[in-house]
Structure 1
Amino acid sequence: MTPMMTYIGTMRPQDILLPVAAGLCCKPGGFHIDPVRPVERAVITHGHSDHARPGHGAVLATRETLDMMRLRYGENFAGSAQAIGYGEELRLGEVTVTFHPAGHVLGSAQIAVACGGTRIVASGDYKDATDPTCAPFELVPCDVFITEATFGLPVFRHGNAADEVAKLLASVKLFPERAHLVGAYSLGKAQRVIALLRQAGFDAPIYLHGAMEKITNYYALRGVALGELRAVKGVKKADLAGTITLAPPSATSDIWTRRFPDPVTAFASGWMRVRARARQRGVELPLVISDHADWDGLTSTIKATGAGEIWVTHGQEDALVHWCTTQGLRARPLDLVGYGDEDGDAALAASEDVEA
């Protein structure tokens, strides 16, 4: 990506967006972005539960994110809901809001907030890697870029996800008598792994833990090509030899695995770059597949936005702030609390980890 021209504005960024206890507050617009507690008006970047919470008076998000919230929380997840498409402009109070693809999961969005000639882009979670299950990341020029930093250390370089899927398929071929269980978060990661398997030529049925079914079926309804999917519940143990099953991460170390013949446990996560994490969790086949930007993705995106000021949140804030200062950029950590990491240990406590 190449550097873009910075927008020059007359309004101070902190007059537009300000970190408060509930999250990022836009006072001139009368809303919060991804608030961690109920607020009057919430603007939501994507459907993961640490960003999309129930109980708000009104919610603005993409259609897919609103649908994810309905699937998880029921029809009455908010007082009211309004869908917005990518590139569509909406005036809220004194600001103009636009949504742009974030490349994280289906329906994920960066939120651009413009006021008084100043544009701030809140990235939410994002990645610049290819993903067949969602719209690709869109670069949005801005004055201030608010970036996540989940993998904000130079050690985290994810590589090609297709190569990781090739490892999984090689293991399936090597051990046809064993079942393969792939731990993956139920929104985004599971569907991406399935789509990558299909792209690699694997056309056999793929089995799903019960917690995966609802959201995966929604992806299919939205036109994402996932091939034949089957519920694993009720399938005979012997019939699961040589198969691949997707499950929440916690299920792969649970009594639930006893229904499989000599299972090979895999875990699809950017954290699998750290082999100690794989060993600690008893993962036999670590797969470095992440729905977050790695170090190179973060730094190249920051440069390409043309932003002169960077706000860093959700992860390794200090390291990325330091890198920004070495590049002559103003940078600050936001120190927001209440956001987990669906790619890591927080997934163990996720509400999707229910009986199959």
Structure 2
Amino acid sequence: MKKPLLEFTNKGIYCAAADVYLDPWKPVDKALISHGHADHSRWGHKKYITHRINVPIVKHRLGAIEIDGREWGESFRINGVEFSFHPAGHIVGSSQIRVAHKGEVWVFSGDYKTENDGIATPYEAVQCHTFITECTFGLPAFKWKPQNEVMREINNWWAENQRAGITSVLFAYSLGKAQRLLSMLDTGIGTIYTHGAIEKMTSVIRDLHPLPPTVQILPETDRKAIRGNLVLAPPSAHGSPWIRKLVPFQTASASGWMTFRGARRRRAIDKGFVLSDHCDWSGLLESIQATGAEKVICTHGYSDIFARYLREEGYDARTEDTQYEGELAELNPKEGKEEDS
């Protein structure tokens, strides 16, 4: 039986022909990295290869590492296997990884979304024979509104709270979601304050993409000056002593999980805005169709349900287990701490 070009091992997605791993979750000699989130770019590899834009992000998170950056679509070979990075649209610097060898082409999606958010390089479909796709929101119930509609809701919420003299605390991943929100928040309403974890990551992204000014909340910051303004904070700040100093406030979360009211109740969030850095159901299906792939491997998320639907549509689809989380950390603040480093 022919050995697959990419296989799933206990360390990660492995290309034996090149002796290289894609987004491995255990230390390896050589790792190709799709993007900077902690579940995809982990510490401990001897060498990292990623897109050029992602280099400063990964270095900020992981420290002194050996890392090379490549351009979009730049072809490079390892032991005769051809690799290239292509825009995934997930967050700044996020990539799909194309692998080609002896006429066979595979694409690993990493995390991705098809809506152009104005900050990440927009997603591009890549033709392949086999597509490894995430399924974070692989249920028909997930259908995203256009980004500008959601941002209008968020800005209106902030303005209403300001008129009531209440601080608006908006929870978002420190890498990706926070900068996406920041790029579209209405600074005419007031000042945007940040938790230290978000401010540190935003300072890295500012060198890659223009963003409006923010003020980091420090121990000496006048809490009265914050009232009525907006605070961007990571999910792990919810319920912490840090946030209790912002009273009176209302909390909100911007996440695909806010589709379900139960998720908001479990998190004790006052307001939920449905805004995700992943594809919704339609986005997943349209992306897969655009690749021209006949074989589809479904990973993290609603992979079993999604793969079953694909098989009913005529695809050769199956599932594989990984250690990627998607937006699961937004459901459980404790799981988001690594993102806040």
| C-alpha contact 1:45 1:51 (8 A) present in aligned 2 | yes
Q: Secondary structure at the match of 2:77?
A: strand
Matched with 1:262 is 248
Q: Could you tell me how far apart the structure 2 residues matched to 1:318 and 1:142 are?
A: 22
Aligned residue runs from structure 1 range 78-117, under 5 A:
80-117=66-103
Matched with 2:286 is 300
1:347 CA drift (Å): 4.9
| C-alpha contact 1:205 1:227 (8 A) present in aligned 2 | no
> Which amino acid in structure 1 is aligned with residue 119 of structure 2?
T
Q: Secondary structure at the match of 2:288?
A: helix
Matched with 2:212 is 227
Q: Could you tell me how far apart the structure 2 residues matched to 1:347 and 1:243 are?
A: 23
Matched with 1:122 is 108
1:174 CA drift (Å): 1.8
1:351 paired to 2:338: yes
Matched with 1:188 is 176
Q: Note the alpha carbon deviations across 1:282-330, whole angstroms, 9 max, x for none.
A: 1111011110111110011111111011011011111110111121110
Matched with 2:10 is 21
1:348 CA drift (Å): 2.9
Q: Secondary structure at the match of 1:175?
A: helix
1:248 paired to 2:237: no
1:203 CA drift (Å): 6.4
1:277 paired to 2:266: no
Q: Could you tell me how far apart the structure 1 residues matched to 2:8 and 2:188 are?
A: 46
| C-alpha contact 1:146 1:310 (8 A) present in aligned 2 | yes
Q: Note the alpha carbon deviations across 1:114-138, whole angstroms, 9 max, x for none.
A: 0110110000000001211110001
Tell me which of 37, 48, 54 is aligned to 2:37.
48
Matched with 2:58 is 69
| C-alpha contact 2:23 2:31 (8 A) present in aligned 1 | yes
Q: Secondary structure at the match of 1:253?
A: coil
| C-alpha contact 1:191 1:216 (8 A) present in aligned 2 | yes
Q: Note the alpha carbon deviations across 1:194-227, whole angstroms, 9 max, x for none.
A: 11215xx6464311100111210111111x2321
Which region of structure 1 is more displaced relative to structure 2, 258-267 or 182-191?
258-267
Matched with 1:34 is 23
- CA gap 1:353/1:59 in 2 versus in 1, 3 angstroms: closer
- CA gap 1:220/1:204 in 2 versus in 1, 3 angstroms: farther
> Which amino acid in structure 2 is aligned with residue 189 of structure 1?
K
| C-alpha contact 2:238 2:333 (8 A) present in aligned 1 | no
Q: Secondary structure at the match of 2:228?
A: coil
> Which amino acid in structure 2 is aligned with residue 318 of structure 1?
D
Q: Secondary structure at the match of 1:351?
A: helix
Identity level (%): 36
Q: Any stretches of 5+ residues in structure 1 without a counterpart?
A: 1-10
| C-alpha contact 1:180 1:265 (8 A) present in aligned 2 | yes
1:341 paired to 2:326: yes
1:239 CA drift (Å): 1.0
- CA gap 1:303/1:31 in 2 versus in 1, 3 angstroms: same
Using the size of structure 2 for normalisation, the TM-score is: 0.94
1:165 CA drift (Å): 1.9
